[in-house]
Chains A and B, each alone.
Chain A
Amino acid sequence: AQSVTQLDSQVPVFEEAPVELRCNYSSSVSVYLFWYVQYPNQGLQLLLKYLSGSTLVKGINGFEAEFNKSQTSFHLRKPSVHISDTAEYFCAPPNKLIFGAGTRLAVHP
Chain B
Amino acid sequence: GAGVSQTPSNKVTEKGKYVELRCDPISGHTALYWYRQSLGQGPEFLIYFQGTGAADDSGLPNDRFFAVRPEGSVSTLKIQRTERGDSAVYLCASSLSIGNNEQFFGPGTRLTVL
Contact residues of A with B, CB < 8 Å? 32, 34, 42-46, 49, 51, 88, 90, 94-102
Total contacts A-B at CB 8 Å: 53
Question: Min CB distance, B44 to chain A, in Å?
Answer: 7
Closest A-B pairs by Cβ, 7 of them: A99-B42, A43-B105, A44-B105, A94-B100, A102-B42, A96-B45, A43-B107
Question: Min CB distance, B91 to chain A, in Å?
Answer: 7
| CB proximity to A under 8 Å, residues B90-114 | 91, 93, 98-108
Query: Chain A interface secondary structure, helix, strand, loop or mixed?
Result: loop
Question: Min CB distance, A104 to chain B, in Å?
Answer: 9
Number of interface residues of B (CB under 8 A): 25
- Taking a contact as CB atoms under 8 Å apart, the answer to whether A42 and B101 are in contact is no
